[in-house]
């Protein structure tokens, strides 16, 4: 059964890397339920040492309630962690969170300028870090806290951004001079070449890498080379 994030992918979009927060985040962010669990276990041990009495029975019920609450709380925290999807695709970075009510946010690769990665000593040992994704104005548009495989996530994101930019720069350019203006005429293109180039242009337009106006201008230049 596909995960929720898989249903958000567009045609031709493929996942390059998929991760979530590091498992250690379930302990750091779940300090209170863990403390409640430890306290309830200690109280349970103390209750068992008491003699049989009404006080012991009442205390035992209270301890049992605390134990169940702490386990349910931790179960919800783990489920929330498991439901996370932090994804790098060939077009964007996608973050999905939430158990029943899903929240998704994405950043187009062409709009990302850089990413700032911070790792403390424990993060370097366990393999997690905090990653801030920056726009061209050096403004953080998304933050990934205690991200698992953080260095690999940053590398995959920047590699895909470079690949997307390279794909755009390799698109056929306009003729330097039109025939009959004293310059060398441009090489005519076959119908198949023009069709493939138009398909690539349409894909870039749909991803937001070029504007509709740029697409139309490039389209006319390609048709003129038939």
110-137 confidence digits (pLDDT tens): 888 888 999 999 999 999 999 998 876 5
Q: How many Cα atoms are found within 13 Å in the side-chain-facing hemisphere of 217?
A: 8
163 sits in which H/E element: helix 150-169
Annotate 19-42 with b (16+ C-beta within 10 A) or e (fewer): bbbbeebbeebbeebbebbeebee
DSSP 87: E
What is the C-alpha to C-alpha distance for residues 83 and 97, in angstroms, rounded to an integer? Answer: 6
Look at the pTM and tell me if it is higher than 0.75: no
Question: Over 90: is that where the pLDDT of 155 sits?
Answer: yes
Question: Over 60: is that where the pLDDT of 174 sits?
Answer: no
Q: Name residue 133's beta-bridge partners.
A: 115, 142
- Whether the CB-CB separation of 110 and 161 falls below 8 Å is answered with yes
Question: Over 60: is that where the pLDDT of 178 sits?
Answer: no
12-43 confidence digits (pLDDT tens): 899 999 999 999 999 998 889 999 999 999 98
The per-residue pLDDT for 183 is 45
DSSP per-residue string spanning 92-155: EEEEEE-SSS-EEEEEEGGGEEEEEEE--HHHHHHTEEEEEEEETTS-EEEEEEEEETHHHHHH
55-88 confidence digits (pLDDT tens): 778 888 888 899 999 999 999 999 999 999 999 9
What is the C-alpha to C-alpha distance for residues 150 and 157, in angstroms, rounded to an integer? Answer: 11
What is the C-alpha to C-alpha distance for residues 147 and 20, in angstroms, rounded to an integer? Answer: 6
The per-residue pLDDT for 169 is 63
The per-residue pLDDT for 218 is 82
């Amino acid at each position: 059964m596909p995960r929720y994030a898989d249903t958000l992918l567009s045609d031709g979009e493929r996942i390059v890397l998929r991760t979530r927060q590091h498992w250690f985040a379930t302990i750091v962010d779940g300090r209170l339920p863990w403390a409640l669990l430890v306290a309830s276990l200690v109280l349970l041990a103390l209750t068992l040492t008491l003699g049989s009495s009404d006080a012991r029975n009442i205390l035992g019920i209270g301890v049992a309630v605390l134990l169940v609450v702490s386990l349910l709380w931790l179960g919800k925290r783990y489920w929330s962690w498991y439901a996370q999807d932090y994804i790098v695709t060939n077009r964007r970075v996608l973050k999905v969170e939430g158990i029943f009510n899903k929240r998704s946010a994405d950043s187009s690769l062409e709009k990302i300028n850089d990413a700032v990665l911070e790792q403390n000593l424990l993060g370097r040992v366990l393999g997690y870090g905090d990653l801030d994704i920056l726009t061209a104005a050096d403004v953080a548009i998304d933050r990934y806290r205690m991200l698992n495989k953080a260095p690999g996530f940053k590398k995959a994101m920047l590699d895909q951004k470079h690949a997307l930019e390279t794909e755009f720069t390799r698109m056929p350019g306009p003729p330097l001079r039109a025939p009959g203006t004293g310059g060398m005429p441009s090489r005519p293109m076959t119908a198949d070449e023009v069709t493939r180039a138009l398909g690539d242009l349409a894909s870039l337009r749909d991803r937001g890498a070029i504007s509709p106006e740029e697409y139309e201008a490039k389209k006319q230049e390609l048709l003129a080379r038939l």
